Every structure is written in C-alpha cells, then in structure tokens.
Amino acid sequence: MSADLVAPARDRSALALIFAGILWGTGGLAGSLLARQAHLQPLSVASYRLLLGGALAMAMLAVSGGLRGLPRTGAALRRILLTGALLGLFQGSYFLAVHYISVSIATMVTIGTLPVFVALGTALRTRRRPDGATLAAIVASVAGLTLITWAPGTVANGWKLGAGVGFALLSAVGFATLTLLTPKPVDGLDPLRITAFGMLTGGLLLLPAGLAGGMALPLRPATLATAAYLGSVPTAIAYTAYFRGLRTAAPIFAAIAALLEPLTSAVLSAIILGDRLTLTGWCGAALLIAALAVSNRR
C-alpha cells in the first residue's frame, strides 16, 4: 500500500480516536448523574450503559443493512463473547471505582495505568523485556498513582480509597486486554458489529448483578435523557469510533485520544459535580498523563 493511501487512513483513524476520547470523557459523568437521579448501584449503571449502547448499535446495524450475512464461525462467536466479557469487566469495575472515589480520579487511574498493563501484556506475548522508555513510563505511572491516592483532600480515604483504586486498576486490566485483542481482525466482524454484539453480551452478563441491586428507572425526562445520552454518545458512538480507529492508527494518535478522556472528565467533574484535586493530585495526574504519552509513543 502506497504512502499516499496510508496517510489518509491514519488521518481518519486519528480523528476517530480523538472523537472517541472526548466522548469517553463524558461517560463517567453521565453514569454518575444517572446513579444519583435513579438511585442506582454501580453495576446497574454499567448494565444499562452496555445494554442501551448495544441496542443503539444494533439499530444502526439494522438501518445500514449490517444484519445481513452475519458470520457464524467459531472465531466470530469467541471474539464476541470475549469482547462482551471484557466490556462487562471494564465497565462494571469502572463504575464501582467511581462509586468509591470520584469520576476524575477513577478515570485518571484507569487511563494512566492502561499503558502499564498494555506493556506487560505485550511483553508476555512477545517474551521480550520492555525497553528503557517503557520501564520509565511504568515508574512514572506508579508514582503518579501514589501521588493521586495520597493527595490530601481527595474525595475518599481509608478502605473506600483502596477499593476505588483497586476497581480502577481492574478496569484498566480489562481495557488493556481489549486493546491488545482488538487489532486482530476476524472475518465478518466490522467495528459496528463488534460494538453491537459485544455490548449486548457484556450487558447481559452484568444484568443479574444489576437486577440484584435494583434497576428501576424513574420515568422522568431528565433521568431518561441521561440514560439515553449514556447509552448513545460515550458508549455506542464512542466505541464504534474506537474500534474503527485502532485499525490503522499511529501510536501518537492513540496517545492524544487517551489524554482527552481524563482531561474532559476532570474538567466536567469540577464544573458539574464539584470534584477537586489538590496540587499534589494534579502532579500525580500529570505523571500519569506523561506515562501514557511515552508508552503510546513507544
């Protein structure tokens, strides 16, 4: 493939990843607002997000004719089940982290440690030790995480802080595994199909836990609008853009996209929810962002 064809493809991937990163930054906030408005537990919110997002993506498939000629191979079924399980793990753990700490800190810990787990996964897969720059990024990420969690004035402390950070790390593991898995193509599964069937699978896997916590949704315009936004913009649309962008994206573009999520989340959380990080916490966030940029650039 010539350079003239590769460059436009990477440009489109860059736009898709940047778009996804901005939209993801609003997901934690929308989920937190839905939990407050409907008095929902974290796993109930995660289940709603995946089911609504999957339903919208399925509707998009129906309109575009993507439901015709669906693959029925074992490889496609395995990819859908694995994607659904990882989405359920990622979303469930993330909203549990938000419940115990805050949207901004949960997002920064998840995104900041993501490159660490991607580097470790790559090292295990290739059986090669990470290079010096990757190791430096890991050290910076751990240091940043420490500064955020020990910063005076954080929203939570004690066991709640530990639980929130633990769930954020588990969320990062799930998303890192999904990131390492996605670039491997499966015949017949385009980004929209993976989004639709993967989200519905993940939502159904979380549904028993969501029902146990209660999933009654008040029929109020504000609550319904929040649920609709959560399932569409930062979920169905953002993940379709993400899966599409990973096909030909250069690493620096992935770094830009990932940086936009915690930035968007922190700004919106400060404006709407009143979340605040101290100077020490922002220094930790800067280290996490630096670690992310270095890892993705490598």
| The token pair that represents 165 in the structure block | 């950070």
Residue 178 has pLDDT above 90, yes or no: no
Q: In terms of pLDDT, which residue wins out, 278 or 245? A: 245
Q: Do the beta carbons of residue 111 and residue 288 sit within 8 Å? A: yes
Among 40-49, 76-85, 115-124, 140-149, the range scoring the smallest mean pLDDT is 140-149
Q: Confirm whether 288 is domain-assigned.
A: yes
Check pLDDT > 70 for residue 260. Answer: no
Helix (H) or strand (E) holding 277, with range, is none
For residue 36, pLDDT beyond 60: yes
Residues 6+ apart with CB under 8 A from 286: 144
Q: Does 277 map to a domain? A: yes
| pLDDT value for 175 | 86
pLDDT at 286: 77
What's residue 276's pLDDT? 65
Tell me whether residue 4 is in a domain. Answer: no
Residue 67 lies in a domain: yes
pLDDT digits (tens, 9 = 90+) for 187-197: 888 888 988 99
pLDDT digits (tens, 9 = 90+) for 163-173: 888 999 999 99
Nearest to 258 by CA among 283, 282, 230, 294: 294
pLDDT score of 116 more than 90: no
Q: Among candidates 246, 258, 268, which has minimal Cα distance to 292?
A: 258
Angle, helices 238-245 vs 251-268, to 10°: value is: 160
pLDDT surpassing 60 at residue 256: no
Say which residue, 290 or 256, is predicted with more confidence. 290
Specify the pLDDT at position 8. Answer: 58
More confident residue, 131 or 164: 164
- For residue 151, the model assigns a pLDDT of 55
Residue 3 maps to a domain: no
Instruction: Please return the burial class of 222, using the count of CB atoms within 10 Å of its CB with bins 0-12, 13-18 and 19+.
Output: exposed
Examine residue 159 and state whether it is found in any structural domain, yes or no: yes
Work out the number of other CB atoms within 10 angstroms of the CB of residue 220: 11
Q: Is 158 strand, coil or helix?
A: helix
Instruction: Tell me the percentage of the chain whose pLDDT exceeds 70.
Output: 79
User: What is the structure's pLDDT at 149?
Assistant: 60
For residue 251, pLDDT beyond 60: no
Higher pLDDT, 53 or 14: 53
Helical (H) or strand (E) element with 123: helix 103-126
DSSP state of 39: T
Neighbours of 17 (CB within 10 A): 24
Residue 45 lies in a domain: yes
Domain count for the chain, please give it.
1
Amino acid at site 34: L
Question: Using CA atoms, how far apart are residues 228 and 192, in angstroms rounded to an integer?
Answer: 18
Q: Give me the amino acid identity at 212.
A: A
As a whole number of angstroms, the distance between CA 100 and CA 159 comes to 9
What length is written for the chain?
Answer: 298
Q: What is the pLDDT of residue 59?
A: 92
The mean pLDDT of 144-161, rounded to a whole number, is 65
Does residue 145 have a pLDDT over 70? no
Quick check: is 126 in a domain? Answer: yes
Q: Which pLDDT does position 1 carry in this prediction?
A: 43
Both structure tokens of 186: 């499966």
Q: What is the mean pLDDT of residues 124-140?
A: 75
Return d(Cα 72, Cα 192) in angstroms, integer.
Answer: 16
pTM of the model: 0.79
With a cut of 90, say whether residue 294 has pLDDT above it. Answer: no
Q: What's the rounded mean pLDDT across residues 95-113?
A: 81
Percent of the chain with pLDDT strictly greater than 90: 30
> Residue 286 belongs to what domain range?
9-297
The CA distance from 247 to 87, in Å, is 19
> What is the average pLDDT across 115-129?
78
The per-residue pLDDT of the chain, averaged, comes to 80
